[in-house]
Amino acid sequence: MDIKILGPGCAKCKTLEKLTRDIVEQNNIEATITKVEDIVEIMKYNIMTTPALVVDGKVEIKGRVPSADEIRKLLMR
C-alpha cells in the first residue's frame, strides 16, 4: 500500500501524518508513507485544501483531519 500525506507542514498536516503512521504501525499494515509538502506536487492531485490522505493514488480524505477510527477503517479494507 502506498500512502501519501499531502500538506505544507501545518499543524493539521502533522496531526494527520502522525495518526496515519501510528495506525499503520499498530495494525501491522504493510505500507509506504510519504509526506508531500511541495505545493506543485500537491496541486497534481487537484487538492485545494489540506491536509489530504492519498491511498494507492486515490484521494480518500481532503481538507480535514479524520478520526483515528476512520483512518483505520480506510486502511484495513
> What is the residue whose three cell numbers read 478520526?
67
Per annotation, catalytic residue among 5, 6, 13, 36: 13
Report how far residue 65's alpha carbon sits from residue 74's, in angstroms, rounded to the nearest whole number. Answer: 13
Asked about 13 being catalytic, the answer comes back as yes
Instruction: Note whether 52 and 35 are within 8 A (CB).
Output: no
10 part of the active site: yes
Catalytic residue among 1, 2, 8, 10: 10
| Phi, psi dihedrals of residue 75, rounded to the nearest 5° | -80, -20
Active site residues: 10, 13
